[in-house]
Amino acid sequence: MTFADKLSEAIRKNDSLVCVGLDPDPRLMPEGITVFDFNRAIIDATADLVCAYKLNLAFYEALGDEGMDALKRTARHIPAGILSIGDAKRGDIGNTAKAYAQAVFSILGFDATTVNPYLGFDSVEPFLQYKDKGVFILCRTSNAGAIDFQALRCETERGMRPLFQVVADKAEKWNTIGNIGLVVGATYPEELKLIRDEHPNLPLLIPGIGAQGGELSLAVRYGVNADGEGAIINSSRQIIYASRGKDFAQAAEKAARTLRDQINQHRAHSTSH
C-alpha cells in the first residue's frame, strides 16, 4: 500500500483530519505518571477520533533515557490504520541521511516523518527510498522565524518566488512515487492557500492551530484537497493538556472529538461550495 493510500484510509477510518501531537512535558502532566503511561492513556482515549499521532522527537530526547524508551514504546502502541508520524525534521548529507531514515523508519518504526530541505535533494532521497513511508518536507513552518529565510524571494526559472514555494516546487518534482507531503503552518493561511492552489494533490501536514494562533476554519478551507482530504491538522497542547488532573485522558478525548467535529463542519462547508 502506498503512503497516499494509507493516508486516505486513515482519514476515512475515523472520518477525521485530526492528528494528536504527543509532545510530553512532565511539568504539564499529572504528577507521578510516566511519559509512556500518559501517552498510552491519551492514545487509548482518542484512537477512534484521529487519523494520526505525531511524536516530536525533541521532547523525548530532552528527557534522556526515560524519554527515548517512551518514544519507542509509544510508537509501537499506535494502532494499525492510524498513522504514526515521527516529527524529527532531520536533514543531513546522503550517507548520514540514510542513517537518519533507518533510525526513524526501521528502528523507531514510524509510518511517516518530517525532513528539513535546506541540504537539498540528496538529503531527502534516502527517506524516499522507503516507498511505503511518508516524507513531509518542511515548506512554510508555523513559527515567527519562518519569515527569516522561507519568505526570501529567489530567482527561479518561473521568475522571482519565495523560498518556501521553491521548496514546494522541488518537492512536487521529487514526488515520483507519491510518498511526499509538505509541512505548512496554519499561522500563515495565505501561504497555505498558495501552496494548496499550486499543489492540489500533495498531502499537507498542518501544525499551528490552537496555542500557536492559527485560525482553524482557514486551515481546513485552504488545507484540504478537492475531496476534502489530503490534510492532517495537528493539535498538541490543546488536546493532551486539556486537563492537567487525573481526568486528562477523558479531557483529551473530549477535546479531540470537539476538534474533529469542528474540522468536519468546515470540511462540509469547503466541499459544498
- Residues contributing to the site for its own copies (CB under 8 A): 23, 56, 58-59, 61-64, 68, 89-94, 96-97, 99-100, 102-104, 107, 116-124, 138, 141-150, 152-156, 160, 163, 166-167, 170
Residue 213 phi/psi, 5-degree rounding, is 100, 0
Smallest separation (angstroms) from its own copies to the CB of 42: 18
CB-nearer residue toward its own copies: 33 or 63 = 63
CB-nearer residue toward its own copies: 31 or 155 = 155
Smallest separation (angstroms) from its own copies to the CB of 202: 18
Smallest separation (angstroms) from its own copies to the CB of 149: 6
Residue 145 phi/psi, 5-degree rounding, is -65, -10
Q: Do the beta carbons of residue 124 and residue 139 sit within 8 Å?
A: no
Helical H segments across the chain, by residue range = 3-13, 35-46, 57-61, 64-77, 94-101, 121-128, 146-149, 163-174, 189-198, 216-223, 237-240, 248-272
CB-nearer residue toward its own copies: 54 or 267 = 54
Q: Which residues are catalytic?
A: 89
What letter would DSSP give residue 214? B
Cell numbers at 99, concatenated: 542513517
Residue 272 phi/psi, 5-degree rounding, is -80, -15
Smallest separation (angstroms) from its own copies to the CB of 165: 11
